[in-house]
Amino acid sequence: MMPLKNDRFLRALLREPVDCTPVWMMRQAGRYLPEYKATRAQAGDFLSLCKNTDLACEVTLQPLRRYALDAAILFSDILTIPDAMGLGLYFEVGEGPKFRKTVRTETDIAQLEWTNPEVSLDYVMNAVKAIRSALGGQVPLIGFSGSPWTLATYMIEGGSSREFQHSKTMLYQSPELLHALLDKLAIAVTEYLNAQIRAGAQAVQIFDSWGGALAHCEYQEFSLNYMKKIVQGLIREHDGRRVPVILFTKGGGQWLPQMLDSGADALGLDWTTNLSIARQTVQGRVALQGNLDPSTLYGSPQRIRAAVKAMLQDAYADGIHTGYVANLGHGITQWVNPEHAGIFVDAVHEYSNEIFQANV
């Protein structure tokens, strides 16, 4: 494989020296970009876009043509695993993802299909290979999956949910049933991420989008413990380099002490977590990523730059100029002005350079 021209993202995740703060954005290939909308229209629908190797590669690269980003992230969806398990994923306009089948009984769990992801999800691996080739070593490529708990909520509810009625009913009435589903999903996620790494992903992130909906003890039992199992089963060296792992639990900043023992190299933060306190909490044992409120990008250029400066000052309040990756606290929204995303990216590089040089 071609050597990396810019590896500051990987170096920061491993708490190695960097020249400035690396930055990328969750959902950086998305509906805020007019070129993405055009490519999606060409594909016909979202799933067709994910499954078309050339177009998935194209939308992955689009934000890198606009912005000085330090990483690319595979264009796909967190619900590819449940879809491959035979649940029939589809998208309704304005309503988000839905499944034709739900998983609520022991029989439902037993009937879930799962085979080698390099076969059942070959379109994802084809996209990874194509993107790595097209990047030409420009920046690293991030692979990803949803966490077992997050995937389970969609499978049990049949789509998105705010109350998680059926998921939490299973959790509190039939916890052994939920554990059986989560066990199956943890194996699938491990195999899926390892397939992405073999195909060329140079770092991976586990999106625990709904971990923050759990109570304190339940988070550890039904989400974190399964993410730990996944991390333990991942390929950690590939192509002669360490493959960093990022855990991101939205709404999970209060569980940083528990996450420290997950085995992950980095922990993602949403915008509700104080970054300087988080750095004090982890004591250099892991890197941190985040945590700008995505809505900040609705603000004026001056407001965006001020927010970035404050975030970086918090990130480096301990005087250690690595172990931090700038990002939003969740995915960029479709209503953001593309120019404002560029202001965010450039401000991270500019202000981190100032901070680093001031302390030389």
Q: Is residue 114 part of a domain?
A: yes
Confidence bin at 96 (pLDDT 50/70/90): confident
Q: Is residue 3 part of a domain?
A: no
Determine the residue type at 251: G
Any binding-site annotation on 29?
yes
Do 208 and 150 touch, CB atoms closer than 8 A? yes
Any binding-site annotation on 330?
yes
Q: Is residue 275 part of a domain?
A: yes
DSSP 329: S
Say if residue 194 is preceded by a cis peptide, omega within 30 of 0: no
List residues with catalytic annotation. Answer: 27, 31, 40, 77, 154
Q: What percent of the chain has pLDDT over 90?
A: 96
Q: What percent of the chain has pLDDT over 70?
A: 99
pLDDT tens digits, residue range 149-171?
999 999 999 999 999 999 999 99
**CATH number assigned to the domain comprising residue 87:** 3.20.20.210
Any binding-site annotation on 31?
yes
Q: Is residue 242 part of a domain?
A: yes
Confidence bin at 358 (pLDDT 50/70/90): confident
Do 63 and 33 touch, CB atoms closer than 8 A? yes
Sign of the alpha-carbon torsion through 2, 267, 161, 182: positive
Cβ burial of 138 (10 Å; 0-12, 13-18, 19+) is: middle
The helix (run of H) or strand (run of E) holding residue 324 is strand 324-325
pLDDT tens digits, residue range 51-74?
999 999 999 999 999 999 999 999
For the full predicted model, state whether its pTM sits above 0.95. Answer: yes
Q: For position 91, what pLDDT does the model report?
A: 87
Q: Is residue 2 part of a domain?
A: no
Q: For position 95, what pLDDT does the model report?
A: 74
Do 15 and 282 touch, CB atoms closer than 8 A? no
Q: In whole numbers, what is the pLDDT of the chain averaged over residues?
A: 96
Containing domain of residue 276, as a range? 8-358
- Give the total number of structural domains in the chain: 1
Give dist(CA 286, CA 299) in Å, integer.
Answer: 31
Choose among 275, 256, 272: nearest CA to 264.
Answer: 256
Any binding-site annotation on 30?
yes
Any binding-site annotation on 70?
no
pLDDT at 360 over 70: no
User: What is the three-class DSSP state of 13?
Assistant: helix
Confidence bin at 92 (pLDDT 50/70/90): confident
Choose among 250, 233, 273, 46: nearest CA to 149.
Answer: 250
Any binding-site annotation on 77?
yes
pLDDT tens digits, residue range 137-151?
999 999 999 999 999
